[in-house]
A and B are shown apart, each in its own frame.
Chain A
Amino acid sequence: MINCSYDQLFDPFVSLRGRLSQINEIVHCTIYGSNRRNTKDYIFRVAIYNAPDGVWHTPCLPALLNVNDKRKERQVSDSALKSAAWPASEIQTLVNEGAGLVDPRIYTDQELYSLEMERIFGRSWLFLAHESQFKKAGDFVTTYMGDDPIIVVKQRDGSIKAFLNQCRHRGMRICRHDGGNARSFTCSYHGWAYDIAGKLVNVPYEKEAYGCIDKEGWSPRQVTRIETYKGLIFGNWDADAPSLADYLGEATYYMDVLLDRVPGGTELIGGINKWVIPCNWKFAAEQFCSDMYHVPSSHLSGMIAQAPADLPPEALQVSGEGAQFRALWGGHGCGFVLGDGGYALMAVSSGQAVADYWHKDSIAAAEAHLGELRARKMSGMHMTVFPNLSFLPCNNTMRVWHPRGPGEIEVWSFAIVAKEASPEAKEAQRLVCLRTFSPSGILEQDDAENWIEVQEVLRGHQAKKTHFNVQMGLGRDLKADDRFPGDMDALFSENAARGFYAQWLRMMTEDDWSSLAPEVLADAAE
């Protein structure tokens, strides 16, 4: 029996393994002690003894390593400032919010990308699935959090569980299906089987191979936290992150234009359009956050295509009346046209049938539910919830920009409609969504063209040394608009983009939520 402190035992992982291998006579050890991870002063007692039959019996070793695994996870979030290639002081130079300058290496650098996975995608609330994708227990979808594959499953009690789609034995993808219904998930490699909650329940030849094995300890890693907002299920790896409600903040006021426009909630149309664009994820996320400005240039041809043939092109220009929202905290943003032109704009961007549904059939219910401002006056909205979930409410599209290295994304695009809409209205919205915002979408086609070429140009050494301009609206006297929550600017602005990159910078350089949390900002303001 030896006594040692938590740090002596577990820090670092390598030395623990060394300790065990150096003591040749160890064939069995047991640890005692609760996993009070916030205190370092308690004692683990490690019992070591020989097994009489000379065979390794390891009922406890997996548990030991598993505790260590949690310790390791903790260290990751503590080590935010310890990148050799990119110390925080260097990262700070990449985004200059006050000057409206962005260093384009944030779109190309592999090491920065790895840090994004750790510090942004490892700590932010990420969209997993919509509740309507699950009808009965065992219904599952597979998705991603950053680059990490995730299984999301409905449980018998109606709750949702999500866990890493990685077998704990040798790392095989446990489930290789896009979705379906399962009673269990069996790894194809060696046959370890997991129940729908993600618990290891069966290990082939367990007695012969392992003696016994700690199944609880060797279950796939559960997504640390799962919370929902109006049908959308989010996950977060970080136990210390703020609640989803605090994270979304006043962005929910705008999200509700899509998620809670009429009573009854939303549902997804079947199918997820998945495609690949060789560009950095921030181009897409930032554009949906902050960029109404590209519409008249990038998308004019698509709007002309849908408009009546005799409509002059000038009639299709986006009106200058509107506003842009920048979240006070969190990097979320959206923009929208304001006024009475919503019906006409929608007829052009989404077609007559959908315009009729939004502005005639459902307008009374929407106005009663959301109020006149959001139901009647706002239109043409674009939105991003930091880091990578975006919406276009008027095109019924919602999408996640899954990062795939610094130079590639997978777009996962969903069509979302009000549950209470008539079958005809749903069908009209389905068709418009896939005809406008999908790989073949006559509006979306041109976005990829832009992002790809920006990324291609950044192969250049001089190009990478040339700052991007994110200055639109800089220095403008922003007055609070008491009609809207958040920091408001004009329709054409990059204020929300600056908010997006400011949040990016904070998450990339600040160690933990003691400084990052929204309430810290609120306290500072007071």
Chain B
Amino acid sequence: MQPSKMEAMDGIATASLDLRSRMELQFEVEQFLYREAELQDDRHFEQWLDLMADDIRYFMPLRTNRSRREQALEFSSDHDIAFFDDDKATLIARVRKLRQPTGWSEDPPSRTRHLVTNVRVAVTDDPAVVSAKADMLIYRGRLERQVDIIVGERRDLLRRTDTEFGFEIAARTFLIDQATFLSNNISFFI
């Protein structure tokens, strides 16, 4: 079973919009995603948390090697183990942890770079909510020589807000392109 949120996050193609509206929407979404990445990579985690909706599901399922016949089982499902399955409160706890003087896994801090590319935008049934898929390459350099590279697809539901950023993240799913996760931990955000 695919995680249930994933279908909901496919959205509706923007073909019904005129070109100018599509370009504007694309621009708005991309700018939001770039600025969000900047907050993470510049370690402004408290401001980053402000972009997370109060009802967010922050989800990163496992990925497995399955036969073609059993591809429906490739991702762990909604009630299986996952890399992340957080709500707003637990995301706040994560930031609280890494800000502690004993938050060793991020002290000294990791050097992250969130590369956001191939952004695909779609509208949804809710005019205030936009679906955004993006391909991600997350680089982490840590301590003297540690390097981690995490590649995957991010699926966001972005809800319009009356803020400087213009959106909040109502749901985030990250589909990693690894079965055995090749890094020692994920002490950063995706």
Q: Which residues of A contact B (CB under 8 A)?
A: 176-181, 269-278, 297-298, 300-302, 304-306, 410, 413-415, 427, 430-431, 433-435, 438-440, 442, 444-446, 448-450, 452-453, 456
Contact = CB atoms under 8 A, between A and B. Distances in A.
19 contacts: A176-B65, A179-B64, A181-B70, A269-B80, A270-B76, A297-B102, A301-B100, A301-B102, A304-B96, A410-B180, A413-B81, A430-B81, A434-B84, A434-B85, A435-B90, A440-B83, A448-B105, A448-B184, A449-B184
A181 B69 CA distance: 10
Given A177-B67, A180-B66, A448-B185, A438 B104 contact: no
Interface in B81-136: 81-86, 90, 93-94, 96-98, 100-105
Nearest to A304: B100
Nearest to B92: A305
A180 B70 contact: yes
A434 B59 CA distance: 11
A446 to B, nearest CB: 5
Contacts of B180: 274-276, 410
For the complex of A and B, the 3 pairs showing the least CB-CB separation, nearest first, are: A270-B80, A305-B97, A271-B81
Contact of B80 (A271, A440, A442): A271
Given A275-B182, A276-B181, A448-B184, A433 B102 contact: no
B79 A446 contact: no
A221 B67 CA distance: 24
Which residue among B66, B69, B101, B180 has the maximum number of chain A CB atoms within 10 Å of its CB?
B180
Contact of B187 (A179, A270, A431, A445): A445
Contacts of B149: none
B103 A180 contact: no
B81 A438 contact: yes
B173 to A, nearest CB: 14
Contact of B97 (A269, A274, A278, A301): A301
A284 B40 CA distance: 31
A178 B66 contact: yes
A404 B144 CA distance: 23
B140 to A, nearest CB: 12
Contacts of B83: 273, 434, 438-440
Contacts of A272: 62, 81
Contacts of B84: 434, 440
Contacts of B137: none
A271 B67 CA distance: 16
B183 interface: yes
Given A270-B79, A270-B81, A304-B96, A275 B181 contact: yes
Nearest to A306: B93
B94 A274 contact: no
Nearest to B75: A271
A450 B96 CA distance: 20
B179 interface: yes
Interface residues of B, number: 44
A442 B81 contact: no
B72 to A, nearest CB: 11
A300 B61 CA distance: 27
B14 interface: no
Contacts of A415: 81
B64 to A, nearest CB: 4
Contacts of A444: 185
Contacts of A446: 103-105
B79 A430 contact: yes
B183 A275 contact: yes
B56 interface: no
B183 A178 contact: no
A272 B81 CA distance: 7
A179 B73 CA distance: 10
A177 B81 contact: no
Contact of B76 (A271, A277, A439): A271
Contacts of A271: 61-62, 64, 76, 80-82
Nearest to B144: A456
Nearest to A309: B96
B52 to A, nearest CB: 15
B186 interface: yes
Nearest to A273: B81
B77 interface: yes
A399 to B, nearest CB: 11
A495 to B, nearest CB: 26
Contacts of A304: 96-97, 100, 102
Nearest to A298: B104
B45 to A, nearest CB: 12
Contacts of B69: 180
A414 B96 CA distance: 26
A176 B69 CA distance: 13
A427 B82 CA distance: 12
A139 to B, nearest CB: 11
Contact of A305 (B96, B179, B187): B96
A439 B81 contact: no
B185 A178 contact: no
Given A180-B70, A270-B77, A439 B65 contact: no
A177 B70 CA distance: 10
Residue in A179, A431, A440 whose Cβ sees the most chain B Cβ within 10 Å: A440
A304 B181 CA distance: 27
B67 A180 contact: yes
Nearest to A456: B144
A452 B184 contact: yes
B67 A178 contact: no
Given A270-B79, A271-B80, A434-B82, A449 B104 contact: yes
A442 B180 CA distance: 20
B64 A269 contact: no
Nearest to B146: A452
A305 B77 contact: no
